[in-house]
Amino acid sequence: MENINESSVPARVDAEDSSTDDLQGQELLQGLEKASWHGVSLCKYKGVWCPLTVFVPTLRCEKYFKARDTDIILATLPKAGTTWLKALTFAVVNRSRYPLDKHPLLTSNPQSLIPSLEFNIYDQENENPDLDLIPDPRIFSTHTHYDSLVSTVVVESKCRVIHICRNPLDQVISLWHFMINMIGIGRFVPLDEFLETYCQGMHVYGPFWEHVLGYWNAHLKSPEKVLFLKYEDLKKDINFSMKKIAEFIGFPFSLEEEKAGLIEEIAKLCSFDKLKNLEVNKVGMHSPHIKNSYFFRKGEIGDSANYLTPHMVDRIEKVVEEKFEGSGLKF
Ligand code: A3P
């Protein structure tokens, strides 16, 4: 897999006039429910609160993206552990390609090594980039719901999807900090207000329960297609989780690699402390609104206890209990 970022996405081929998609998107948008979520414009598309800025890219992705059987799609809610999953998947897939002391993760933020379908690939001037030029296995990320992936990814190919979820208490606190930080768009929102919209399912790519349950149910139905991970499990035993990821995507570690300590080495390279303290992640910019450092805050389980009152915890736990009841999924 090449070191792909926004600027290296190749130009499109044989697409219709670029204005067509935009016009169709604008027309479709007219009929959709819209909301301003703490300063971020959202529209409800197929049951998902999609940021307005990536609405047209989302439509383009649905229209043009053709998954290959060898593709790997990392599907996450923001703040569930996307950056970590990107680092691990990239490092596992490319382990024979780069020596660990000259690894792209030492000089690039994991977010830019694996492009997002809606935020990078289809957010270009050219609406249909030629993704055929990217060698196998292509790795993409997405924040969208499982149902939105169905036609392009699930039905038409044998590509694999990895989902990581996180305890909603920690996730909402992580999201709250991220939103406040965003340069130019971020603004302070009292936590109780932020929490209330989250519990109502109104937040980027919400409702969170539909997002998580979509991937959970798909995993139960087709475990060979959808791997379901929990941030907390990775924290508890990263070596075991990494072996699971490697096997799932068809890059299992050999006995020799295990004996040589390669799993531990990759885990160290992708660890929070290692990545957070790299120059690129301390001073680099991910986009005009987002510093690389925003993706590395605390990286802990249970940090929410430092912010949430017992009443707030109760409010989220009630939603979680109600929405996940009978699903078999526990946080
Ligand atoms: P906190 O805000 O709780 O610290 P995402 O990558 O989906 O945007 O999620 C960001 C969250 O994952 C942040 O959580 C961040 O600190 C944490 N994170 C980033 N890289 C990590 C890593 N290598 N290991 C563990 N957690 C990590």
Q: What is the CATH number of the domain that holds 208?
A: 3.40.50.300
* Residue 156 in domain: yes
* Residue 80 in domain: yes
As a whole number, mean pLDDT of residues 13-29 equals 65
Is the shortest distance between the CB of 243 and ligand 1 below 6 Å?
Answer: no
Q: What is the spatial distance between Cα 140 and Cα 193, in angstroms, rounded to a whole number?
A: 33
Q: What percent of the chain has pLDDT over 70?
A: 93
* Residue 26 in domain: no
Gap from CA of 143 to ligand 1 centroid (Å): 15
Structural domain range at position 260: 33-323
pLDDT given at position 252: 98
Lowest mean pLDDT among 130-134, 237-241, 302-306: 130-134
Whether residue 286 lies in the annotated active site: no
* Residue 83 in domain: yes
Q: What is the spatial distance between Cα 171 and Cα 304, in angstroms, rounded to a whole number?
A: 8
Centroid of chain to Cα 69:
20
* Residue 329 in domain: no
Q: Which atom of ligand 1 is nearest to the CA of 86?
A: 6
Question: pLDDT per residue over 93-104, tens digit each?
Answer: 999 999 999 999
Q: What is the spatial distance between Cα 159 and Cα 24, in angstroms, rounded to a whole number?
A: 29
Asked whether residue 248 carries a pLDDT value surpassing 70, the answer given is yes
As a whole number, mean pLDDT of residues 249-262 equals 98
Relative to beta strand 72-76, strand 160-165 is parallel
* Residue 27 in domain: no
Name the catalytic one among 38, 143, 163, 219. Answer: 143
Nearest CA to ligand 1 atom 19: 296
Question: pLDDT per residue over 113-137, tens digit each?
Answer: 999 999 999 988 788 999 999 999 9
Asked if residue 121 lies in contact with residue 115, where contact means CB atoms within 8 angstroms, the answer is: yes
Gap from CA of 326 to ligand 1 centroid (Å): 29
Amino acid at 314: D
Q: Which of 106, 104, 112 is nearest to 83 (CA)?
A: 112
Q: What is the spatial distance between Cα 166 and Cα 172, in angstroms, rounded to a whole number?
A: 10
126 or 235, which is more confident: 235
Asked if residue 112 lies in contact with residue 286, where contact means CB atoms within 8 angstroms, the answer is: yes
* Residue 250 in domain: yes
Q: How many domains does the chain have?
A: 1
Q: What is the spatial distance between Cα 47 and Cα 210, in angstroms, rounded to a whole number?
A: 9
Pocket test for ligand 1, best of 141, 234, 272 (most atoms within 8 A of CB): 272
**133-156: buried (b, 16+ CB within 10 Å) or exposed (e) per residue?**
ebeebbbbbbbbbbebbeebbbee
Q: What percent of the chain has pLDDT over 90?
A: 81
In the chain, count H helices and then E strands.
Answer: 15, 9
Asked whether residue 240 carries a pLDDT value surpassing 50, the answer given is yes
157 or 86, which is more confident: 86
Gap from CA of 270 to ligand 1 centroid (Å): 11
Asked whether residue 16 carries a pLDDT value surpassing 50, the answer given is no
* Residue 273 in domain: yes
As a whole number, mean pLDDT of residues 172-188 equals 89
Nearest CA to ligand 1 atom 24: 272
Asked if residue 237 lies in contact with residue 264, where contact means CB atoms within 8 angstroms, the answer is: no
As a whole number, mean pLDDT of residues 144-149 equals 88
pLDDT grade, residue 147 (50/70/90)? confident
Please state, rounded to an integer, the average pLDDT across all residues of the chain. Answer: 91
Is the shortest distance between the CB of 166 and ligand 1 below 6 Å?
Answer: no
Per the rule left: phi > 0, alpha: psi between -120 and 50, beta: everything else, 15 is beta
